[in-house]
Amino acid sequence: MNWPYDPRLYDIVTAESLGGDVGWYVRKGQECGGPVLELGAGTGRIAIPLARGDVMVHALDLDQGMLSALREKVGAEPVDVQARIVIVDGDMRAFRLKERFALVIAPFRALLHNLTEDAHLACFRCVREHLRPGGRFAFNVFHPSLTYMAQNSGALEGVWRLGGTFKGHDGAWVVRSEANRYDTVQRRVYSHLRYEEYGSDGTLKRTFLHRLELSYLYPADIARLLRSAGFQSVQIAGGFDGRPFERDTDELIVEAGCD
């Protein structure tokens, strides 16, 4: 079971845009004209730019800390932007909304919180039920790199590795480390993410540990599960620039439709 996120630390260590994802999702939202439903909206890294881009967006998440941070951020936006964001407290596997959407998105690997094929199917079926005719489902997940798995197996399994150093507030710094273990039978990755907060004088102020369990999916799994949920067209690219998927380290950019 995953532990709750710390939204403040999440924002510090998460880049404003990851491989061009923000611009890509905003363009998709503008092209379809909205409304958009975002699954796993977190603190609004995608939802708020969508609303700033004149797109109506429903931002769904289950983590109460992330939702609280999102509400605070939305409250600081201009009134017209606030009016284009509806915050939804819900589970991506079992949501029921009155609205139907031109686009449903799940950025930054949010779908991988679904740990089983049944959970993925439940999520995909919910998405299909909430799409308008001609609507699209777009998301991105990492490709399960065999090279990366090998670097975290055997004697290297669970080894702590530096993930990066990030500038915090008031001269503070956050050091992020991680230890990973892969279960290639169940297709799971188990991670411990450690955050150490240091003051401007180098004094350790706080340590926070986040336990994270994710599934992973290969392209064939994605296509099979989407089609089982009723999607008829599935396209998978290797990056937000639309290049073909051809490298072990590519990000999988998926678009699916029902017709």
At 14, the amino acid letter reads T
3-state SS assignment for residue 69: helix
Determine the distance from the C-alpha atom of residue 193 to the mean position of all C-alpha atoms in its chain, rounded to a whole number.
16
State how far the Cα of 233 lies from the Cα of 93, in Å rounded to an integer: 21
The model's pLDDT over 212-256, given as tens digits with 9 standing for 90+, comes to 999 999 999 999 999 999 999 999 999 999 999 999 999 999 999
The residue range of the domain holding 207 is 146-215
Write out pLDDT tens, residues 88-121.
999 999 999 999 999 999 999 999 999 999 999 9
What whole-number distance in Å separates Cα of residue 77 and Cα of residue 51?
Answer: 10
Of 87-96, 117-126, 146-155, the range with the lowest mean pLDDT is: 146-155
Give residue 2's pLDDT band: very low, low, confident or very high (50, 70, 90). Answer: confident
**pLDDT for residue 1:** 64
Report yes or no on whether pTM surpasses 0.95: yes
- Chain Cα centroid distance, residue 120: 14
Judged against a pLDDT cut of 80, whether residue 178 lies above it is answered with: yes
Given a cut of 90, whether residue 3 has pLDDT beyond it is no
What's the whole-number average pLDDT of the chain? 96
Q: How many domains does the chain have?
A: 2
Give me the pLDDT at residue 237, please: 98
The CATH number assigned to the domain holding 243 equals 3.40.50.150
Which pLDDT tens digit goes with each residue over 27-57? 999 999 999 999 999 999 999 999 999 999 9
**CA angle 185-39-71, nearest 5°?**
130
Q: Is residue 5 part of a domain?
A: no
CATH number (domain holding residue 160): 2.20.25
Give the C-alpha separation, 24 to 153, whole Å.
34
Half-sphere exposure of 73 (CA within 13 A, CB side): 24
Gap between the Cα atoms of 30 and 26, Å rounded: 6
Residues 69-90, mean pLDDT to the nearest whole number = 98
Are residues 202 and 113 both part of a single domain? Answer: no
Distance CA 63, CA 74 (A): 16
As beta bridge partners, residue 212 has 191
pLDDT of residue 169: 85
In a domain, 97, yes or no: yes
Q: Both 80 and 54 in a single domain?
A: yes
Residues 29 and 151 in one domain: no
The per-residue pLDDT for 170 is 85
Torsions phi, psi of 217, nearest 5? -130, 140
Rounded Cα distance between 135 and 132, Å, is 5
Per-residue DSSP letter, 71: H
Q: Say yes or no: 48 and 131 in one domain.
A: yes
Helix (H, G, I), strand (E, B) or coil at 78: coil
> Per-residue confidence at 125, pLDDT binned at 50, 70, 90?
very high
